[in-house]
Amino acid sequence: MSEFHIVVCGSIVPDPLQTLEPMQGPTGPALKNEMMLPAVLDPWAGHALFEAAELAKKYAGSKVWLVTLGPKAKLQQVMMNVAQKVPFEVVCVDGPASGFDDSFEVARVLSEAVEGIDGLDKGKLLLFGGWQSASRGSGAVMQMVGERLGVTEQFQGVDKLVVGDDGSLEVLERVEGGAWQASVCEGAPAVFGWATGELPEPPNNPQVGMQNMRLIMPALQQAKPADMGSSSLSFASVELPAQRRETRIVKDASVEDIAREIVEWVQS
Protein backbone atom coordinates (compact mmCIF):
# COMPACT_ATOMS: atom_id res chain seq x y z
CA MET A 1 0.00 0.00 0.00
CA SER A 2 1.36 3.43 -0.98
CA GLU A 3 1.88 6.18 1.59
CA PHE A 4 2.52 9.77 0.56
CA HIS A 5 3.77 13.00 2.10
CA ILE A 6 1.96 15.62 0.05
CA VAL A 7 3.13 19.23 0.26
CA VAL A 8 0.89 21.83 -1.38
CA CYS A 9 2.42 25.23 -2.16
CA GLY A 10 -0.12 28.02 -2.40
CA SER A 11 -0.48 31.70 -1.72
CA ILE A 12 -3.32 34.09 -1.11
CA VAL A 13 -4.61 36.48 -3.76
CA PRO A 14 -7.16 39.31 -3.86
CA ASP A 15 -10.70 38.10 -4.43
CA PRO A 16 -11.11 37.80 -8.22
CA LEU A 17 -14.37 39.76 -8.04
CA GLN A 18 -12.49 42.87 -6.90
CA THR A 19 -11.26 45.58 -9.23
CA LEU A 20 -7.45 45.66 -9.12
CA GLU A 21 -5.66 48.90 -9.87
CA PRO A 22 -1.84 48.84 -10.12
CA MET A 23 0.17 51.77 -8.80
CA GLN A 24 3.73 52.78 -8.03
CA GLY A 25 4.30 52.41 -4.29
CA PRO A 26 7.23 53.64 -2.18
CA THR A 27 9.08 50.34 -2.62
CA GLY A 28 7.96 49.57 -6.16
CA PRO A 29 4.80 48.44 -7.98
CA ALA A 30 1.80 47.52 -5.83
CA LEU A 31 -1.98 47.29 -5.93
CA LYS A 32 -4.03 50.24 -4.76
CA ASN A 33 -5.47 49.56 -1.28
CA GLU A 34 -4.04 46.03 -1.42
CA MET A 35 -4.26 45.40 2.33
CA MET A 36 -7.93 46.42 2.28
CA LEU A 37 -8.90 43.97 -0.47
CA PRO A 38 -10.57 40.71 0.65
CA ALA A 39 -8.28 37.74 -0.01
CA VAL A 40 -8.82 34.10 -0.96
CA LEU A 41 -6.59 31.07 -1.46
CA ASP A 42 -5.23 31.09 -5.00
CA PRO A 43 -7.78 29.10 -7.08
CA TRP A 44 -5.12 26.90 -8.70
CA ALA A 45 -3.60 26.14 -5.30
CA GLY A 46 -7.10 25.36 -4.05
CA HIS A 47 -7.54 22.68 -6.72
CA ALA A 48 -4.15 21.23 -5.74
CA LEU A 49 -5.13 21.17 -2.04
CA PHE A 50 -8.44 19.42 -2.68
CA GLU A 51 -6.77 16.80 -4.88
CA ALA A 52 -4.08 16.28 -2.22
CA ALA A 53 -6.64 15.74 0.53
CA GLU A 54 -8.60 13.25 -1.60
CA LEU A 55 -5.42 11.31 -2.39
CA ALA A 56 -4.33 11.27 1.26
CA LYS A 57 -7.76 9.96 2.28
CA LYS A 58 -7.35 6.96 -0.01
CA TYR A 59 -3.92 5.92 1.29
CA ALA A 60 -3.55 5.31 5.02
CA GLY A 61 -0.62 7.03 6.68
CA SER A 62 -0.47 9.84 4.12
CA LYS A 63 -0.19 13.46 5.29
CA VAL A 64 -0.92 16.84 3.71
CA TRP A 65 0.91 20.10 4.41
CA LEU A 66 -0.01 23.51 3.00
CA VAL A 67 3.02 25.78 2.64
CA THR A 68 1.92 29.35 2.09
CA LEU A 69 3.63 32.72 1.71
CA GLY A 70 1.72 35.90 2.50
CA PRO A 71 1.06 38.67 5.04
CA LYS A 72 0.33 37.05 8.39
CA ALA A 73 -2.86 39.07 9.01
CA LYS A 74 -4.28 38.12 5.61
CA LEU A 75 -3.28 34.48 6.02
CA GLN A 76 -5.27 34.24 9.23
CA GLN A 77 -8.42 35.52 7.54
CA VAL A 78 -8.12 33.11 4.63
CA MET A 79 -7.12 30.08 6.71
CA MET A 80 -10.25 30.41 8.84
CA ASN A 81 -12.24 29.63 5.69
CA VAL A 82 -9.91 27.12 4.02
CA ALA A 83 -9.53 25.15 7.26
CA GLN A 84 -13.15 24.02 7.02
CA LYS A 85 -12.64 22.34 3.63
CA VAL A 86 -10.12 19.52 4.13
CA PRO A 87 -7.67 18.34 6.83
CA PHE A 88 -4.07 19.56 6.54
CA GLU A 89 -1.17 21.02 8.49
CA VAL A 90 -0.03 24.50 7.56
CA VAL A 91 3.46 26.02 7.30
CA CYS A 92 3.22 29.81 7.13
CA VAL A 93 5.86 32.26 5.93
CA ASP A 94 5.14 35.92 6.68
CA GLY A 95 5.90 37.91 3.55
CA PRO A 96 4.48 39.59 0.47
CA ALA A 97 1.90 37.90 -1.73
CA SER A 98 2.10 40.44 -4.52
CA GLY A 99 2.21 39.51 -8.17
CA PHE A 100 5.18 41.84 -8.53
CA ASP A 101 7.55 39.64 -6.52
CA ASP A 102 10.38 37.81 -8.27
CA SER A 103 9.25 34.21 -8.88
CA PHE A 104 12.82 32.99 -8.29
CA GLU A 105 12.86 34.48 -4.79
CA VAL A 106 9.37 33.10 -4.10
CA ALA A 107 10.56 29.62 -5.11
CA ARG A 108 13.60 29.93 -2.84
CA VAL A 109 11.49 30.91 0.18
CA LEU A 110 8.97 28.13 -0.45
CA SER A 111 11.65 25.46 -0.94
CA GLU A 112 13.34 26.48 2.32
CA ALA A 113 9.99 26.22 4.11
CA VAL A 114 9.44 22.73 2.68
CA GLU A 115 12.94 21.68 3.75
CA GLY A 116 12.08 22.75 7.30
CA ILE A 117 9.01 20.53 7.69
CA ASP A 118 9.52 18.13 10.59
CA GLY A 119 9.05 14.48 9.69
CA LEU A 120 8.92 15.03 5.93
CA ASP A 121 10.18 11.99 4.01
CA LYS A 122 11.39 13.08 0.58
CA GLY A 123 11.15 9.52 -0.65
CA LYS A 124 7.37 9.81 -0.25
CA LEU A 125 7.11 13.43 -1.38
CA LEU A 126 4.46 14.58 -3.83
CA LEU A 127 4.86 18.34 -4.32
CA PHE A 128 1.55 19.90 -5.41
CA GLY A 129 0.82 23.43 -6.48
CA GLY A 130 -0.96 25.51 -9.07
CA TRP A 131 0.06 25.20 -12.70
CA GLN A 132 -0.52 28.95 -12.87
CA SER A 133 -1.31 31.61 -10.27
CA ALA A 134 -3.95 34.31 -10.00
CA SER A 135 -1.27 36.72 -8.79
CA ARG A 136 2.12 35.79 -10.22
CA GLY A 137 0.97 33.83 -13.26
CA SER A 138 4.53 33.00 -14.28
CA GLY A 139 3.97 29.24 -14.41
CA ALA A 140 7.53 28.79 -13.18
CA VAL A 141 7.44 28.78 -9.37
CA MET A 142 6.56 25.10 -8.90
CA GLN A 143 9.22 24.03 -11.39
CA MET A 144 11.90 25.96 -9.51
CA VAL A 145 10.73 24.73 -6.09
CA GLY A 146 11.01 21.16 -7.37
CA GLU A 147 14.47 21.74 -8.80
CA ARG A 148 15.71 23.27 -5.56
CA LEU A 149 14.42 20.22 -3.68
CA GLY A 150 16.10 17.87 -6.16
CA VAL A 151 12.83 16.58 -7.60
CA THR A 152 13.22 16.25 -11.36
CA GLU A 153 10.07 14.26 -12.22
CA GLN A 154 7.71 17.14 -12.96
CA PHE A 155 4.28 17.43 -14.58
CA GLN A 156 2.49 20.68 -15.41
CA GLY A 157 -1.14 21.32 -16.31
CA VAL A 158 -2.24 18.17 -14.48
CA ASP A 159 -5.93 17.28 -14.54
CA LYS A 160 -5.80 13.72 -13.22
CA LEU A 161 -3.48 11.57 -11.11
CA VAL A 162 -4.02 7.84 -10.64
CA VAL A 163 -1.86 5.70 -8.33
CA GLY A 164 -1.24 2.16 -9.55
CA ASP A 165 -1.09 -0.95 -7.39
CA ASP A 166 2.70 -0.90 -7.67
CA GLY A 167 2.91 2.74 -6.52
CA SER A 168 3.38 4.10 -10.04
CA LEU A 169 1.75 7.42 -10.94
CA GLU A 170 -0.29 7.84 -14.11
CA VAL A 171 -0.71 11.49 -15.02
CA LEU A 172 -2.88 13.35 -17.51
CA GLU A 173 -1.40 16.72 -18.52
CA ARG A 174 -3.13 19.30 -20.68
CA VAL A 175 -1.72 19.88 -24.15
CA GLU A 176 -2.95 21.93 -27.11
CA GLY A 177 -6.18 21.18 -28.91
CA GLY A 178 -8.17 20.06 -25.86
CA ALA A 179 -6.14 16.85 -25.57
CA TRP A 180 -4.15 15.27 -22.74
CA GLN A 181 -0.72 13.75 -22.59
CA ALA A 182 -0.66 10.53 -20.58
CA SER A 183 2.55 9.81 -18.66
CA VAL A 184 3.60 7.18 -16.15
CA CYS A 185 6.07 7.86 -13.34
CA GLU A 186 7.56 5.05 -11.26
CA GLY A 187 6.57 6.80 -8.04
CA ALA A 188 7.46 9.53 -5.58
CA PRO A 189 9.11 11.99 -5.41
CA ALA A 190 7.43 14.08 -8.10
CA VAL A 191 6.10 17.60 -8.74
CA PHE A 192 2.56 18.26 -9.98
CA GLY A 193 1.39 21.66 -11.18
CA TRP A 194 -2.39 21.29 -11.14
CA ALA A 195 -4.85 22.80 -13.58
CA THR A 196 -8.46 22.35 -12.45
CA GLY A 197 -8.33 18.67 -11.55
CA GLU A 198 -11.54 16.69 -11.33
CA LEU A 199 -12.87 17.57 -7.88
CA PRO A 200 -15.38 20.26 -6.88
CA GLU A 201 -14.73 22.53 -3.91
CA PRO A 202 -15.59 20.55 -0.76
CA PRO A 203 -18.40 21.84 1.47
CA ASN A 204 -17.55 23.46 4.78
CA ASN A 205 -17.10 21.04 7.68
CA PRO A 206 -16.96 22.83 11.06
CA GLN A 207 -15.42 19.79 12.78
CA VAL A 208 -12.54 19.69 10.28
CA GLY A 209 -12.18 23.45 10.74
CA MET A 210 -11.84 23.14 14.52
CA GLN A 211 -9.24 20.39 14.19
CA ASN A 212 -7.22 22.38 11.67
CA MET A 213 -7.37 25.67 13.59
CA ARG A 214 -5.73 24.03 16.63
CA LEU A 215 -2.59 23.75 14.50
CA ILE A 216 -3.08 26.76 12.23
CA MET A 217 -3.13 29.43 14.95
CA PRO A 218 0.21 28.35 16.51
CA ALA A 219 1.71 28.08 13.02
CA LEU A 220 0.63 31.64 12.23
CA GLN A 221 2.08 32.93 15.49
CA GLN A 222 5.39 31.22 14.75
CA ALA A 223 5.51 32.31 11.08
CA LYS A 224 8.99 33.55 10.22
CA PRO A 225 9.46 36.71 8.13
CA ALA A 226 10.45 35.94 4.55
CA ASP A 227 13.76 37.29 3.30
CA MET A 228 12.98 37.93 -0.35
CA GLY A 229 16.58 38.90 -1.11
CA SER A 230 17.80 41.64 -3.39
CA SER A 231 16.14 40.80 -6.67
CA SER A 232 17.36 42.44 -9.86
CA LEU A 233 13.77 42.49 -11.12
CA SER A 234 12.48 45.99 -11.87
CA PHE A 235 9.39 47.58 -13.43
CA ALA A 236 9.49 50.67 -15.58
CA SER A 237 5.77 51.32 -15.07
CA VAL A 238 2.50 49.65 -14.10
CA GLU A 239 -0.92 50.49 -15.49
CA LEU A 240 -4.25 48.98 -16.45
CA PRO A 241 -4.54 47.68 -20.03
CA ALA A 242 -5.94 50.32 -22.34
CA GLN A 243 -9.53 49.73 -23.41
CA ARG A 244 -10.19 49.89 -27.13
CA ARG A 245 -13.60 50.35 -28.64
CA GLU A 246 -14.38 50.82 -32.32
CA THR A 247 -17.85 52.18 -33.06
CA ARG A 248 -19.46 52.81 -36.45
CA ILE A 249 -22.75 54.69 -36.54
CA VAL A 250 -25.02 53.81 -39.47
CA LYS A 251 -28.51 55.24 -39.90
CA ASP A 252 -31.51 53.52 -41.47
CA ALA A 253 -29.83 50.08 -41.84
CA SER A 254 -32.27 47.27 -42.41
CA VAL A 255 -32.59 44.29 -40.08
CA GLU A 256 -31.31 42.03 -42.86
CA ASP A 257 -28.19 44.16 -43.38
CA ILE A 258 -27.44 44.21 -39.64
CA ALA A 259 -27.88 40.44 -39.41
CA ARG A 260 -25.66 39.88 -42.45
CA GLU A 261 -22.87 42.06 -40.99
CA ILE A 262 -23.03 40.22 -37.67
CA VAL A 263 -22.75 36.85 -39.43
CA GLU A 264 -19.82 38.08 -41.55
CA TRP A 265 -18.09 39.43 -38.43
CA VAL A 266 -18.54 36.12 -36.58
CA GLN A 267 -17.22 34.12 -39.53
CA SER A 268 -14.22 36.38 -40.14
Distance separating alpha carbons of residues 89 and 107, to the nearest angstrom: 20
Q: What is the pLDDT of residues 134-171, one digit of tens each?
A: 776 667 888 999 999 999 999 998 999 999 988 899 99
Half-sphere exposure of 3 (CA within 13 A, CB side): 8
The predicted pLDDT at position 230 comes to 64
Q: What is the pLDDT of residues 62-72, one digit of tens each?
A: 999 999 988 88
SS3 188: coil
The predicted pLDDT at position 139 comes to 73
Q: What is the largest CA-CA distance in the chain?
A: 76
Question: What backbone phi and psi angles, to 5 degrees, belong to 141?
Answer: -60, -50
Q: What is the DSSP string of 6-35?
A: EEEE--EEE-TTSPP-EEEETTEEEETTGG
CB 171 within 8 A of CB 184: yes
The predicted pLDDT at position 229 comes to 66
How deeply is 17 buried, as exposed, middle or buried, from its count of CB atoms within 10 A (0-12, 13-18, 19+)? exposed
Question: Which domains are assigned to the chain?
Answer: 5-225 (3.40.50.620)
Percent of the chain with pLDDT over 70: 95
Q: What is the pLDDT of residues 10-53, one digit of tens each?
A: 888 888 777 777 777 776 777 777 777 888 888 888 999 999 99
Confidence check: pLDDT of 7 > 70:
yes
The predicted pLDDT at position 184 comes to 92
Question: What backbone phi and psi angles, to 5 degrees, belong to 129?
Answer: -175, 180
The predicted pLDDT at position 175 comes to 84
Distance separating alpha carbons of residues 192 and 130, to the nearest angstrom: 8
Predicted TM-score (pTM) of the model is 0.81
The mean pLDDT of the chain is 86
Band (223; pLDDT cuts 50, 70, 90):
confident
Distance separating alpha carbons of residues 70 and 266, to the nearest angstrom: 44
Distance separating alpha carbons of residues 228 and 146, to the nearest angstrom: 18
